[in-house]
Amino acid sequence: VFLIPGWNAALQLDRGGVAAGEWWLLLTGHFTHWNPDHLTWDLSAFAILATFCESRSSYRFRVCLGLSAVTIALGFLLLETELATYRGLSGLDSALFGLAMVELCRRPGAGRGVAIVGLAGFLGKTLFEVTCGATVFVASGKGGFLPVPSAHLLGFLCGLAAGVCPRGAR
pLDDT at 136 > cutoff 80: no
Q: What's the pLDDT score for residue 143? A: 60
Among 65-79, 85-99, 126-140, 145-159, the least confident range = 126-140
Confidence of residue 100 (pLDDT cuts 50, 70, 90): very high
Report which residue type is found at 25. L
Q: What is the mean pLDDT of residues 142-164?
A: 89
When the pLDDT of each residue in the chain is averaged and rounded to a whole number, the result is 91
Distance in angstroms (rounded) separating the CA atoms of residues 142 and 108: 42
pLDDT at 156 > cutoff 80: yes
Report which residue type is found at 57. S
pLDDT at 168 > cutoff 90: no
Q: What's the pLDDT score for residue 139? A: 66
pLDDT at 69 > cutoff 60: yes
Q: What is the mean pLDDT of residues 6-34?
A: 95
Say whether pTM exceeds 0.85.
yes
**Is the Cβ–Cβ distance between 154 and 47 less than 8 Å?**
no
Q: Which secondary-structure segment (H or E) carries 85? A: strand 85-86
DSSP calls for 109-165 = THHHHHHHHHHHHHHHHHHHHHHHSS-SSS-HHHHT----HHHHHHHHHHHHHHHHS
